[in-house]
Protein backbone atom coordinates (compact mmCIF):
# COMPACT_ATOMS: atom_id res chain seq x y z
CA UNK A 1 0.00 0.00 0.00
CA UNK A 2 1.39 3.39 -0.98
CA UNK A 3 2.18 6.08 1.54
CA UNK A 4 -0.59 8.38 0.33
CA UNK A 5 -3.21 5.66 0.85
CA UNK A 6 -1.81 4.93 4.29
CA UNK A 7 -2.14 8.59 5.18
CA UNK A 8 -5.67 8.75 3.78
CA UNK A 9 -6.80 5.62 5.62
CA UNK A 10 -5.03 6.62 8.81
CA UNK A 11 -6.58 10.10 8.89
CA UNK A 12 -9.93 8.61 7.87
CA UNK A 13 -9.86 6.12 10.75
CA UNK A 14 -8.89 8.83 13.23
CA UNK A 15 -11.65 11.10 11.92
CA UNK A 16 -14.15 8.23 11.97
CA UNK A 17 -13.28 7.45 15.59
CA UNK A 18 -13.48 11.09 16.67
CA UNK A 19 -16.65 11.90 14.71
CA UNK A 20 -18.25 8.60 15.76
CA UNK A 21 -17.62 9.29 19.44
CA UNK A 22 -18.95 12.84 19.09
CA UNK A 23 -22.02 11.61 17.23
CA UNK A 24 -22.80 8.94 19.82
CA UNK A 25 -22.31 11.47 22.61
CA UNK A 26 -24.59 13.95 20.83
CA UNK A 27 -27.30 11.31 20.29
CA UNK A 28 -27.18 10.22 23.91
CA UNK A 29 -27.29 13.83 25.07
CA UNK A 30 -30.30 14.63 22.86
CA UNK A 31 -32.05 11.43 23.91
CA UNK A 32 -31.46 12.23 27.56
CA UNK A 33 -32.82 15.75 27.19
CA UNK A 34 -35.91 14.65 25.24
CA UNK A 35 -36.62 11.79 27.63
CA UNK A 36 -36.15 14.16 30.54
CA UNK A 37 -38.70 16.54 29.03
CA UNK A 38 -41.13 13.66 28.53
CA UNK A 39 -40.67 12.49 32.11
CA UNK A 40 -41.21 16.00 33.45
CA UNK A 41 -44.40 16.23 31.44
CA UNK A 42 -45.60 12.90 32.87
CA UNK A 43 -44.72 14.01 36.41
CA UNK A 44 -46.68 17.21 35.90
CA UNK A 45 -49.70 15.24 34.70
CA UNK A 46 -49.32 12.84 37.61
CA UNK A 47 -49.31 15.78 40.02
CA UNK A 48 -52.50 17.15 38.45
CA UNK A 49 -54.12 13.72 38.61
CA UNK A 50 -53.27 13.32 42.30
CA UNK A 51 -54.62 16.82 43.00
CA UNK A 52 -57.84 16.06 41.12
CA UNK A 53 -58.36 12.76 42.87
CA UNK A 54 -57.59 13.93 46.41
CA UNK A 55 -60.06 16.85 46.11
CA UNK A 56 -62.94 15.05 44.44
CA UNK A 57 -65.06 15.04 47.63
CA UNK A 58 -64.39 18.63 48.57
CA UNK A 59 -64.42 20.67 45.40
CA UNK A 60 -66.95 19.06 43.09
CA UNK A 61 -66.19 16.16 40.86
CA UNK A 62 -67.66 17.43 37.57
CA UNK A 63 -66.06 20.87 37.52
CA UNK A 64 -62.52 19.69 38.40
CA UNK A 65 -62.63 16.71 36.10
CA UNK A 66 -63.91 18.79 33.19
CA UNK A 67 -61.10 21.29 33.77
CA UNK A 68 -58.17 18.88 34.23
CA UNK A 69 -58.84 15.78 32.15
CA UNK A 70 -58.28 17.46 28.78
CA UNK A 71 -54.80 18.54 29.94
CA UNK A 72 -53.98 15.11 31.38
CA UNK A 73 -54.90 13.06 28.32
CA UNK A 74 -53.92 15.44 25.55
CA UNK A 75 -51.40 14.37 22.82
CA UNK A 76 -52.82 10.81 22.72
CA UNK A 77 -52.04 10.20 26.37
CA UNK A 78 -53.92 7.51 28.27
CA UNK A 79 -55.10 7.70 31.90
CA UNK A 80 -56.06 4.53 33.74
CA UNK A 81 -57.14 3.97 37.37
CA UNK A 82 -56.84 0.63 39.21
CA UNK A 83 -57.43 -0.63 42.71
CA UNK A 84 -55.37 -2.71 45.17
CA UNK A 85 -56.38 -5.91 43.42
CA UNK A 86 -55.23 -4.66 40.02
CA UNK A 87 -58.74 -4.25 38.68
CA UNK A 88 -59.19 -1.36 36.24
CA UNK A 89 -61.59 1.25 37.63
CA UNK A 90 -61.57 3.71 34.74
CA UNK A 91 -59.66 4.50 31.54
CA UNK A 92 -59.54 7.70 29.48
CA UNK A 93 -57.68 7.86 26.19
CA UNK A 94 -57.44 6.29 22.70
CA UNK A 95 -59.29 3.08 22.09
CA UNK A 96 -57.25 -0.12 22.27
CA UNK A 97 -54.48 1.31 24.42
CA UNK A 98 -54.64 -0.70 27.66
CA UNK A 99 -51.80 -0.04 30.10
CA UNK A 100 -50.56 -3.22 31.85
CA UNK A 101 -51.01 -3.45 35.63
CA UNK A 102 -48.06 -5.41 36.99
CA UNK A 103 -46.54 -6.13 40.38
CA UNK A 104 -44.39 -2.98 40.24
CA UNK A 105 -47.52 -0.90 39.71
CA UNK A 106 -49.28 -2.60 42.65
CA UNK A 107 -46.19 -1.98 44.80
CA UNK A 108 -46.56 1.76 44.15
CA UNK A 109 -50.20 1.57 45.16
CA UNK A 110 -49.30 -0.24 48.39
CA UNK A 111 -46.88 2.50 49.32
CA UNK A 112 -43.48 1.12 48.28
CA UNK A 113 -42.70 4.14 46.05
CA UNK A 114 -44.36 7.47 45.34
CA UNK A 115 -44.28 6.87 41.60
CA UNK A 116 -42.72 4.63 38.95
CA UNK A 117 -41.48 5.63 35.47
CA UNK A 118 -40.79 2.95 32.87
CA UNK A 119 -41.03 2.05 29.18
CA UNK A 120 -43.73 -0.31 28.00
CA UNK A 121 -44.72 -1.67 24.61
CA UNK A 122 -48.38 -2.15 23.72
CA UNK A 123 -49.30 -3.76 20.40
CA UNK A 124 -45.74 -3.16 19.23
CA UNK A 125 -45.91 0.58 19.96
CA UNK A 126 -43.48 2.08 22.51
CA UNK A 127 -44.90 4.11 25.39
CA UNK A 128 -43.52 5.95 28.39
CA UNK A 129 -45.65 5.32 31.50
CA UNK A 130 -45.81 6.69 35.04
CA UNK A 131 -47.60 4.93 37.90
CA UNK A 132 -48.66 6.87 41.03
CA UNK A 133 -50.84 6.54 44.09
CA UNK A 134 -53.61 8.99 45.02
CA UNK A 135 -55.57 9.25 48.24
CA UNK A 136 -59.28 9.90 48.12
CA UNK A 137 -60.86 12.78 49.95
CA UNK A 138 -61.09 11.04 53.37
CA UNK A 139 -57.34 10.13 53.22
CA UNK A 140 -58.05 6.49 54.05
CA UNK A 141 -55.03 4.36 52.90
CA UNK A 142 -57.30 1.42 52.25
CA UNK A 143 -59.19 3.52 49.73
CA UNK A 144 -56.06 4.64 47.82
CA UNK A 145 -56.27 4.39 44.04
CA UNK A 146 -53.50 3.73 41.57
CA UNK A 147 -53.20 5.74 38.38
CA UNK A 148 -51.22 5.10 35.19
CA UNK A 149 -50.50 7.78 32.62
CA UNK A 150 -48.70 6.79 29.45
CA UNK A 151 -47.75 8.70 26.34
CA UNK A 152 -46.77 7.47 22.91
CA UNK A 153 -42.99 7.48 22.19
CA UNK A 154 -43.21 6.65 18.49
CA UNK A 155 -42.66 10.21 17.35
CA UNK A 156 -39.92 10.68 19.91
CA UNK A 157 -38.06 7.60 18.70
CA UNK A 158 -38.66 8.49 15.05
CA UNK A 159 -37.21 11.95 15.60
CA UNK A 160 -34.26 10.47 17.50
CA UNK A 161 -33.63 7.94 14.74
CA UNK A 162 -33.79 10.66 12.07
CA UNK A 163 -31.37 12.81 14.06
CA UNK A 164 -29.01 9.86 14.52
CA UNK A 165 -29.11 9.06 10.82
CA UNK A 166 -28.51 12.69 9.93
CA UNK A 167 -25.58 12.99 12.32
CA UNK A 168 -23.98 9.77 11.08
CA UNK A 169 -24.49 10.85 7.46
CA UNK A 170 -22.80 14.17 8.18
CA UNK A 171 -20.08 12.31 10.07
CA UNK A 172 -19.51 9.93 7.14
CA UNK A 173 -19.20 12.89 4.80
CA UNK A 174 -16.74 14.46 7.24
CA UNK A 175 -14.69 11.25 7.35
CA UNK A 176 -14.57 11.13 3.55
CA UNK A 177 -13.52 14.77 3.40
CA UNK A 178 -10.79 14.19 5.98
CA UNK A 179 -9.58 11.08 4.12
CA UNK A 180 -9.59 12.99 0.84
CA UNK A 181 -7.70 15.86 2.45
CA UNK A 182 -5.19 13.38 3.86
CA UNK A 183 -4.76 11.81 0.42
CA UNK A 184 -4.19 15.23 -1.17
CA UNK A 185 -1.73 16.30 1.54
CA UNK A 186 0.08 12.97 1.33
CA UNK A 187 0.23 13.23 -2.46
CA UNK A 188 1.83 16.66 -2.20
CA UNK A 189 4.15 15.47 0.54
CA UNK A 190 5.34 12.34 -1.24
CA UNK A 191 5.68 13.94 -4.66
CA UNK A 192 9.33 14.87 -4.00
CA UNK A 193 9.93 11.32 -2.74
CA UNK A 194 8.32 9.91 -5.88
CA UNK A 195 10.50 12.16 -8.02
CA UNK A 196 13.52 11.12 -5.99
CA UNK A 197 12.61 7.47 -6.50
CA UNK A 198 12.18 8.03 -10.24
CA UNK A 199 15.58 9.70 -10.35
CA UNK A 200 17.20 6.83 -8.43
CA UNK A 201 15.58 4.23 -10.72
CA UNK A 202 16.68 6.22 -13.77
CA UNK A 203 20.24 6.35 -12.47
CA UNK A 204 20.12 2.61 -11.78
CA UNK A 205 18.84 1.81 -15.28
CA UNK A 206 20.94 4.26 -17.28
CA UNK A 207 23.89 5.07 -14.96
CA UNK A 208 23.41 8.74 -15.84
CA UNK A 209 24.53 10.51 -12.69
CA UNK A 210 23.26 13.88 -13.93
CA UNK A 211 19.65 12.64 -14.13
CA UNK A 212 18.61 14.45 -10.95
CA UNK A 213 18.42 17.74 -12.82
CA UNK A 214 15.54 16.40 -14.91
CA UNK A 215 13.29 15.94 -11.88
CA UNK A 216 11.62 18.55 -9.71
CA UNK A 217 12.68 17.67 -6.17
CA UNK A 218 12.07 20.99 -4.48
CA UNK A 219 10.85 20.40 -0.94
CA UNK A 220 11.23 21.66 2.60
CA UNK A 221 12.22 20.23 5.97
CA UNK A 222 13.26 16.55 6.10
CA UNK A 223 12.31 15.71 2.50
CA UNK A 224 14.19 18.77 1.28
CA UNK A 225 17.26 17.66 3.23
CA UNK A 226 16.92 14.18 1.73
CA UNK A 227 16.71 15.58 -1.79
CA UNK A 228 19.69 17.85 -1.17
CA UNK A 229 21.70 14.96 0.28
CA UNK A 230 20.77 12.75 -2.68
CA UNK A 231 21.78 15.47 -5.12
CA UNK A 232 25.08 15.95 -3.29
CA UNK A 233 25.66 12.20 -3.35
CA UNK A 234 25.11 12.04 -7.10
CA UNK A 235 27.38 15.04 -7.60
CA UNK A 236 30.07 13.30 -5.58
CA UNK A 237 29.60 10.11 -7.57
CA UNK A 238 29.77 12.03 -10.83
CA UNK A 239 32.98 13.76 -9.78
CA UNK A 240 34.36 10.45 -8.55
CA UNK A 241 33.54 8.77 -11.86
CA UNK A 242 35.17 11.61 -13.80
CA UNK A 243 38.27 11.37 -11.65
CA UNK A 244 38.28 7.61 -12.04
CA UNK A 245 38.03 7.88 -15.81
CA UNK A 246 40.75 10.51 -15.87
CA UNK A 247 42.89 8.37 -13.58
CA UNK A 248 42.45 5.31 -15.79
CA UNK A 249 43.26 7.36 -18.86
CA UNK A 250 46.32 8.95 -17.26
CA UNK A 251 47.47 5.63 -15.82
CA UNK A 252 47.15 3.98 -19.22
CA UNK A 253 49.16 6.80 -20.77
CA UNK A 254 51.86 6.58 -18.10
CA UNK A 255 52.05 2.80 -18.27
CA UNK A 256 52.30 2.79 -22.05
CA UNK A 257 55.87 4.10 -22.08
CA UNK A 258 57.47 1.63 -19.62
CA UNK A 259 55.45 -1.28 -21.04
CA UNK A 260 56.52 -0.40 -24.58
CA UNK A 261 60.13 -0.02 -23.54
CA UNK A 262 60.04 -3.29 -21.58
CA UNK A 263 58.47 -5.14 -24.50
CA UNK A 264 60.99 -3.68 -26.94
CA UNK A 265 63.96 -4.67 -24.79
CA UNK A 266 62.63 -8.20 -24.27
CA UNK A 267 61.83 -8.67 -27.95
CA UNK A 268 65.30 -7.43 -28.90
CA UNK A 269 66.84 -9.77 -26.39
CA UNK A 270 64.78 -12.65 -27.76
CA UNK A 271 65.49 -12.02 -31.46
CA UNK A 272 69.09 -10.94 -31.19
CA UNK A 273 70.19 -13.08 -28.28
CA UNK A 274 72.73 -15.09 -30.30
CA UNK A 275 74.16 -11.94 -31.92
CA UNK A 276 74.53 -9.87 -28.73
CA UNK A 277 77.59 -9.93 -26.55
CA UNK A 278 77.44 -10.27 -22.79
CA UNK A 279 77.56 -6.52 -22.15
CA UNK A 280 74.68 -5.80 -24.51
CA UNK A 281 72.59 -8.54 -22.93
CA UNK A 282 73.32 -7.13 -19.48
CA UNK A 283 72.27 -3.62 -20.58
CA UNK A 284 68.99 -4.90 -22.04
CA UNK A 285 68.21 -6.88 -18.90
CA UNK A 286 69.00 -3.90 -16.65
CA UNK A 287 66.78 -1.65 -18.78
CA UNK A 288 63.97 -4.18 -18.54
CA UNK A 289 64.39 -4.37 -14.76
CA UNK A 290 64.26 -0.57 -14.51
CA UNK A 291 61.06 -0.45 -16.49
CA UNK A 292 59.63 -3.26 -14.35
CA UNK A 293 60.53 -1.38 -11.16
CA UNK A 294 58.95 1.76 -12.55
CA UNK A 295 55.73 -0.12 -13.35
CA UNK A 296 55.72 -1.75 -9.90
CA UNK A 297 56.16 1.64 -8.24
CA UNK A 298 53.46 3.16 -10.42
CA UNK A 299 51.05 0.32 -9.63
CA UNK A 300 51.72 0.65 -5.89
CA UNK A 301 51.13 4.38 -5.98
CA UNK A 302 47.96 3.94 -8.00
CA UNK A 303 46.60 1.54 -5.42
CA UNK A 304 47.40 3.97 -2.63
CA UNK A 305 45.96 6.91 -4.51
CA UNK A 306 42.65 5.17 -5.18
CA UNK A 307 42.24 3.71 -1.69
CA UNK A 308 39.70 5.22 0.70
CA UNK A 309 42.03 6.69 3.30
CA UNK A 310 39.09 8.06 5.31
CA UNK A 311 38.01 4.57 6.29
CA UNK A 312 41.42 3.01 6.86
CA UNK A 313 41.87 0.49 9.64
CA UNK A 314 44.20 2.83 11.56
CA UNK A 315 42.20 5.02 13.99
CA UNK A 316 42.54 8.79 14.21
CA UNK A 317 44.74 9.82 17.11
CA UNK A 318 46.84 12.73 18.29
CA UNK A 319 50.03 12.85 16.22
CA UNK A 320 53.06 15.08 16.72
CA UNK A 321 54.20 16.25 13.28
CA UNK A 322 57.67 17.13 14.58
CA UNK A 323 58.22 13.52 15.73
CA UNK A 324 57.47 12.33 12.19
CA UNK A 325 59.84 14.94 10.76
CA UNK A 326 62.62 13.86 13.13
CA UNK A 327 62.18 10.20 12.15
CA UNK A 328 62.37 11.10 8.45
CA UNK A 329 65.42 13.23 9.05
CA UNK A 330 67.26 10.34 10.73
CA UNK A 331 66.45 8.12 7.74
CA UNK A 332 67.97 10.54 5.23
CA UNK A 333 71.12 11.01 7.31
CA UNK A 334 72.24 7.62 6.06
CA UNK A 335 72.23 9.01 2.50
CA UNK A 336 75.36 11.06 1.81
CA UNK A 337 75.51 14.14 -0.36
CA UNK A 338 72.54 16.20 0.92
CA UNK A 339 71.57 17.46 4.36
CA UNK A 340 68.04 17.13 5.78
CA UNK A 341 67.25 19.23 8.88
CA UNK A 342 64.21 19.85 11.09
CA UNK A 343 63.13 23.19 12.59
CA UNK A 344 60.18 24.32 14.64
CA UNK A 345 58.45 23.13 17.78
CA UNK A 346 56.02 20.34 18.59
CA UNK A 347 52.79 20.48 16.57
CA UNK A 348 50.07 18.04 17.63
CA UNK A 349 47.26 17.30 15.17
CA UNK A 350 44.57 14.64 14.87
CA UNK A 351 45.18 12.05 12.19
CA UNK A 352 46.50 8.66 11.15
CA UNK A 353 50.24 8.55 11.72
CA UNK A 354 51.06 6.14 8.86
CA UNK A 355 49.28 8.30 6.29
CA UNK A 356 50.75 11.55 7.58
CA UNK A 357 54.21 9.97 7.56
CA UNK A 358 53.70 8.93 3.93
CA UNK A 359 52.58 12.44 2.97
CA UNK A 360 55.58 14.05 4.65
CA UNK A 361 57.93 11.43 3.17
CA UNK A 362 56.66 12.19 -0.34
CA UNK A 363 57.31 15.89 0.24
CA UNK A 364 60.85 15.22 1.40
CA UNK A 365 61.49 12.81 -1.51
CA UNK A 366 60.32 15.44 -3.95
CA UNK A 367 62.49 18.15 -2.36
CA UNK A 368 65.48 15.80 -2.08
CA UNK A 369 65.30 15.13 -5.80
CA UNK A 370 65.52 18.83 -6.64
CA UNK A 371 67.70 20.13 -3.78
CA UNK A 372 71.26 21.22 -4.30
CA UNK A 373 72.72 20.47 -0.89
CA UNK A 374 70.04 21.12 1.76
CA UNK A 375 66.42 20.19 2.60
CA UNK A 376 64.66 21.73 5.62
CA UNK A 377 61.47 20.43 7.27
CA UNK A 378 59.79 23.30 9.14
CA UNK A 379 56.98 22.37 11.54
CA UNK A 380 54.68 24.72 13.42
CA UNK A 381 51.00 25.27 14.18
CA UNK A 382 49.77 22.26 12.23
CA UNK A 383 51.73 23.28 9.12
CA UNK A 384 54.59 21.31 7.57
CA UNK A 385 56.80 23.15 5.07
CA UNK A 386 59.56 21.35 3.17
CA UNK A 387 62.09 23.76 1.66
CA UNK A 388 64.87 22.98 -0.80
CA UNK A 389 67.66 25.06 -2.30
CA UNK A 390 67.02 23.85 -5.83
CA UNK A 391 66.02 25.79 -8.94
CA UNK A 392 62.41 26.28 -7.78
CA UNK A 393 59.18 25.55 -9.61
CA UNK A 394 58.39 27.30 -12.91
CA UNK A 395 55.53 29.75 -12.43
CA UNK A 396 53.41 28.05 -15.09
CA UNK A 397 53.74 24.70 -13.28
CA UNK A 398 52.80 25.89 -9.76
CA UNK A 399 48.99 25.39 -10.14
CA UNK A 400 49.47 21.81 -11.35
CA UNK A 401 52.18 20.29 -9.16
CA UNK A 402 49.62 18.33 -7.10
CA UNK A 403 47.86 16.96 -10.15
CA UNK A 404 47.98 13.27 -10.98
CA UNK A 405 50.77 12.25 -13.35
CA UNK A 406 51.73 15.89 -13.85
CA UNK A 407 55.42 16.32 -14.55
CA UNK A 408 57.13 19.48 -15.66
CA UNK A 409 59.41 19.50 -18.69
CA UNK A 410 62.47 19.37 -16.44
CA UNK A 411 61.05 16.42 -14.43
CA UNK A 412 60.34 14.16 -17.38
CA UNK A 413 63.99 13.23 -17.67
CA UNK A 414 64.13 12.23 -14.00
CA UNK A 415 62.78 9.07 -12.32
CA UNK A 416 59.29 9.20 -10.87
CA UNK A 417 55.66 8.53 -11.66
CA UNK A 418 54.16 11.97 -11.19
CA UNK A 419 51.98 10.69 -8.34
CA UNK A 420 54.03 11.61 -5.27
CA UNK A 421 52.50 15.05 -4.67
CA UNK A 422 49.07 13.84 -5.82
CA UNK A 423 49.19 11.28 -3.01
CA UNK A 424 50.11 14.06 -0.58
CA UNK A 425 47.08 16.06 -1.68
CA UNK A 426 44.85 12.96 -1.39
CA UNK A 427 46.03 12.13 2.13
CA UNK A 428 45.92 15.69 3.42
CA UNK A 429 42.42 16.39 2.08
CA UNK A 430 41.21 13.19 3.74
CA UNK A 431 42.43 14.70 7.04
CA UNK A 432 40.57 17.96 6.42
CA UNK A 433 43.71 19.89 5.49
CA UNK A 434 45.08 21.86 2.53
CA UNK A 435 48.28 21.75 0.49
CA UNK A 436 50.43 24.55 -0.95
CA UNK A 437 53.42 25.06 -3.22
CA UNK A 438 55.40 28.26 -3.79
CA UNK A 439 58.83 29.56 -4.61
CA UNK A 440 61.08 31.11 -1.98
CA UNK A 441 62.36 34.66 -2.58
CA UNK A 442 65.91 33.56 -1.79
CA UNK A 443 65.64 30.61 -4.18
CA UNK A 444 64.29 27.11 -4.06
CA UNK A 445 60.74 25.95 -3.43
CA UNK A 446 58.43 25.42 -0.47
CA UNK A 447 55.90 22.61 -0.66
CA UNK A 448 53.78 21.54 2.32
CA UNK A 449 50.39 21.16 3.96
CA UNK A 450 48.31 22.52 6.83
CA UNK A 451 46.07 20.39 9.07
CA UNK A 452 43.28 21.55 11.43
CA UNK A 453 44.08 21.77 15.14
CA UNK A 454 43.58 18.76 17.40
CA UNK A 455 40.35 20.21 18.87
CA UNK A 456 38.61 19.39 15.58
CA UNK A 457 39.32 15.66 15.79
CA UNK A 458 35.56 14.85 15.76
CA UNK A 459 35.14 16.78 12.51
CA UNK A 460 37.72 14.83 10.54
CA UNK A 461 36.23 12.44 7.97
CA UNK A 462 36.45 8.87 9.13
CA UNK A 463 36.25 9.63 12.84
CA UNK A 464 33.31 8.95 15.10
Domain assignment present for 444: yes
Domain assignment present for 221: no
- Give residue 256's domain range: 233-306
Domain boundary among 281, 306, 331: 306
Count structural domains, the chain: 3
Domain assignment present for 214: no
Do 376 and 251 reside in the same domain of the chain?
no
Do 286 and 411 reside in the same domain of the chain?
no
Do 336 and 299 reside in the same domain of the chain?
no
Domain assignment present for 176: no
Do 407 and 287 reside in the same domain of the chain?
no
Do 113 and 59 reside in the same domain of the chain?
yes
Do 271 and 410 reside in the same domain of the chain?
no
Domain boundary among 127, 161, 195: 161
Regions of the chain with pLDDT less than 50? 57-68, 456-464
Do 338 and 355 reside in the same domain of the chain?
yes
pLDDT digits 0-9 by tens, 252-288: 655 666 777 778 878 888 888 777 888 888 888 888 8
Domain boundary among 306, 331, 353: 306
CATH code at 248? 1.10.287.130
SS (H, E, C) the chain: CCHHHHHHHHHHHHHHHHHHHHHHHHHHHHHHHHHHHHHHHHHHHHHHHHHHHHCHHHHCHHHHHHHHHHHHHCCCCEEEEECCCCCEEEEECCCCCCCCCCHHHHHHHCCCCCEEEEEEEECCEEEEEEEEEECCCCCCHHHCEEEEEEEECHHHHHHHHHHHHHHHHHHHHHHHHHHHHHHHHHHHHHHHHHHHHHHHHHHHHHCCCCHHHHCCCCCCHHHHHHHHHHHHHHHHHHHHHHHHHHHHHHHHHHHHHHHHHHHHHHHHHHHCHHHCCHHHHHHHHHHHHHHHHHHHHHHHHHHHHHCCHHHCCCCCEEEEHHHHHHHHHHHHCCCCCCEEEEEECCCEEEECHHHHHHHHHHHHHHHHHHCCCEEEEEEECCEEEEEECCCCCCCCCHHHCCCCCCCCCCHHHCCCCCCHHHHHHHHHHHCCCEEEEEECCCCCEEEEEECCEHHHHHHCCCCC
Do 143 and 19 reside in the same domain of the chain?
yes
Nearest to 298 by CA among 339, 337, 255, 328: 255
Do 270 and 320 reside in the same domain of the chain?
no
Domain assignment present for 453: yes
Do 326 and 258 reside in the same domain of the chain?
no
232-237 LR contacts (CB < 8 Å, sep 24+): 234/203, 234/209, 234/210, 237/209
CATH code at 120? 3.30.450.20
Do 103 and 37 reside in the same domain of the chain?
yes
Do 116 and 246 reside in the same domain of the chain?
no
pLDDT digits 0-9 by tens, 303-344: 665 665 555 567 888 999 999 999 888 877 766 678 889 998
Domain assignment present for 188: no
Domain assignment present for 167: no
Q: What integer pLDDT is reported at residue 461 of this predicted model?
A: 44
Amino acid sequence: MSLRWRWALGLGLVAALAIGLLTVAAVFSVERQLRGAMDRDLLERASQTRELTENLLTRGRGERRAALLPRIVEYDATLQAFDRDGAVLARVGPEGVIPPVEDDDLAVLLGADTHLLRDVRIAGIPYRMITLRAMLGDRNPDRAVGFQILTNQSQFQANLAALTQRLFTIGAIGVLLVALTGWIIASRAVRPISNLTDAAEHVTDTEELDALGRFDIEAHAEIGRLATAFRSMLDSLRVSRQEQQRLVSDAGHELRTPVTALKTNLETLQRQYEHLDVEQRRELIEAALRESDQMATLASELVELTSDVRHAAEPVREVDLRDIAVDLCSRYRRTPGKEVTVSGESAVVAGRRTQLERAMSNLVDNAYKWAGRRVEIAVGGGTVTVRDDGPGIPAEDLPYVFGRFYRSAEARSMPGSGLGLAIVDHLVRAHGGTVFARNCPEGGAEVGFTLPPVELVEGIPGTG
